[in-house]
């Protein structure tokens, strides 16, 4: 029997002898349990193991011939596994460089229009996702603004991350989210799975009290995070717990 495997793990069962029936122990010792992650070829047989538990003479280990395929492992595996079409779409997404923010915005508008044309159910799905995306973006803006206000009141002026924000990168991140929503809905529409459980009506994410609570927590954390970013002090970089 030949199998391709990586790491050969021979488990000696002597350690479990006190818990094994004598009639089964001898049989168990003749079995070589193998687990694999690296490419090797093993030939196994049922020849009795030696007293010390090593396999019999019928067990051989050889290294396969080197392949002429110089592609990375991830690309070679695509020949073995059936990949979803989205794999190739995401792999080539803006591969030649960032699109301008105006192009990204045009694509987002087009995605929104496609959802609306599909009907009320798709439009509702889109509106809920777009609402959550807007909520996260608003939190980021509020956190940054609160941090700037805090630094000005405490006299610890710091540069705002917004000053270094690249609109092409920011719009691409949102476009990626929009494309993910469209891809996700295609699976839902095709019956592969249901809508996310946390998008159902009555979930706490739709509660104004919960929304306000989470926003308050985020803004409070953002003030501390951006303050440490601005200070760049050694104690802020220390991850060890000290007395």
Query: Helices in the chain by DSSP H: which ranges?
Result: 22-29, 73-77, 85-91, 101-118, 120-154, 167-189, 208-231, 234-237
Distance CA 29, CA 25 (A): 6
Average pLDDT over residues 211-217: 93
pLDDT tens digit sequence for 46-67: 455 445 555 555 555 555 566 6
Does residue 12 carry a pLDDT above 80? no
Structure tokens at 105: 């915005």
235/97: higher pLDDT = 97
Average pLDDT over residues 139-163: 80
Does residue 104 carry a pLDDT above 70? yes
pLDDT tens digit sequence for 63-83: 556 667 788 887 788 788 888
What global pTM score does this model have?
0.60
């Amino acid at each position: 029997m030949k199998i391709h495997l990586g790491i050969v793990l021979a488990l000696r069962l002597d350690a479990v002898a006190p818990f094994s029936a004598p009639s089964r122990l001898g049989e168990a010792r003749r079995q070589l349990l193998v687990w694999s992650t690296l490419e090797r070829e093993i030939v196994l047989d049922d020849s009795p193991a030696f007293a010390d538990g090593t396999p019999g003479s019928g067990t051989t280990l050889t290294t396969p011939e080197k392949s002429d395929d110089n592609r990375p492992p991830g690309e070679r595996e695509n020949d073995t596994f059936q990949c979803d079409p989205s794999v190739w779409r995401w792999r080539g997404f803006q591969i030649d460089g960032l699109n301008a923010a105006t192009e990204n915005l045009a694509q987002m508008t087009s995605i929104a229009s496609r959802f609306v044309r599909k009907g009320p159910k798709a439009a509702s799905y889109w509106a809920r996702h777009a609402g959550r995306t807007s909520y996260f973006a608003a939190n980021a803006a509020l956190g940054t603004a609160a941090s700037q206000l805090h630094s000005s009141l405490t006299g610890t002026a710091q540069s705002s991350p917004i000053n270094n924000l690249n609109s092409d990168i920011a719009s691409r991140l949102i476009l990626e989210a929009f494309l993910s929503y469209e891809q996700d809905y295609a699976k839902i529409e095709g019956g592969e799975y249901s809508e996310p459980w946390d998008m159902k009506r009555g979930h706490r994410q739709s509660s104004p009290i919960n929304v306000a609570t989470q926003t308050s927590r985020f803004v409070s954390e953002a003030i501390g995070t951006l303050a440490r970013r601005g200070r760049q002090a050694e104690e802020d970089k220390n991850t060890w717990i000290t007395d």
